[in-house]
Amino acid sequence: MPETTSLFNKIAKHYDSLNTLFSFGMDKLWRKKLVEQISGSHLILDIATGTGEVAIETVKKLDGSRVIGIDPSAQMLSFAKKKCDTIQYRDKISLVQGYAEDLPFENDKFDAITIAFGIRNTVNPLQSLKEMNRVLKTGGIVAILEFTIPKNAIFAPIYLFYFKKFLPFIGSFFGSKKEYKYLSDSTS
């Protein structure tokens, strides 16, 4: 199992609440923007689905859509299952355990693919992109949501301090300092 998978197994319990806390609730808005990019799509693959937030936002917003969420972390998926196993979502969202680098789907299957805060955590991003291209229908959309370091000379140092120092510090109160340090360091 890659190191990142055990890392996400470890932080799964507090993942949703810490995301909301660290981003001041902005994470939900960012996911909404991501889903807007794939409007009109019916069958969607959400890679690195984690606790299922993008999958849920997608079926809420896109009428008649169905989502398959895939993620290697059993713990993240178990939280996703709890949220998705309800009357509203049961027939619309399926969850699969697996890696972006080796997608267990046939060629040309999906109208759209989403991946939020996940591409940088894959072991091999290029192989993951090749797999996305393989399972995506011709003319389909890949929508990627990811962090980056701001270019603004005033804002960049504040952001870097917040992201690289403050987040791991808060993570330490949840027993996850090392994990949040990795997540901060993996942003470029």
Ligand X SMILES: C[S@@+](CC[C@H](N)C(=O)[O-])C[C@H]1O[C@@H](n2cnc3c(N)ncnc32)[C@H](O)[C@@H]1O
Contact set with ligand X (CB under 6 A): 4-5, 8, 31, 47-50, 53-54, 71-73, 76, 99-101, 116-118, 121-123
- Residue nearer to ligand X on the CB measure, 111 or 115: 115
**Whole-number minimum distance, CB 117 to ligand X, in Å?**
4
Residue 148's Cβ-side half-sphere holds a number of Cα atoms within 13 Å equal to 6
- Residue nearer to ligand X on the CB measure, 31 or 167: 31
Residue pair 127/101 in contact (Cβ under 8 Å)? The answer is yes
- Residue nearer to ligand X on the CB measure, 32 or 90: 32
**Whole-number minimum distance, CB 154 to ligand X, in Å?**
27
**Whole-number minimum distance, CB 90 to ligand X, in Å?**
20
Given the structure tokens 């808060």, which residue do they identify? 170
* Position of minimal CB gap to ligand X: 50
User: By CB neighbour count within 10 A (0-12 exposed, 13-18 middle, 19+ buried), where does 124 fall?
Assistant: middle
Q: Where are the alpha helices (DSSP H) in 70-151?
A: 74-84, 125-135
**Whole-number minimum distance, CB 158 to ligand X, in Å?**
22
Given the structure tokens 């140092």, which residue do they identify? 157
Q: Which of 30, 24, 87 minimizes the C-alpha distance to 53?
A: 30
Residue pair 167/18 in contact (Cβ under 8 Å)? The answer is no
- Residue nearer to ligand X on the CB measure, 47 or 93: 47
**Whole-number minimum distance, CB 153 to ligand X, in Å?**
28
- Residue nearer to ligand X on the CB measure, 137 or 146: 146
**Cβ partners under 8 Å of residue 24, min gap 6:** none
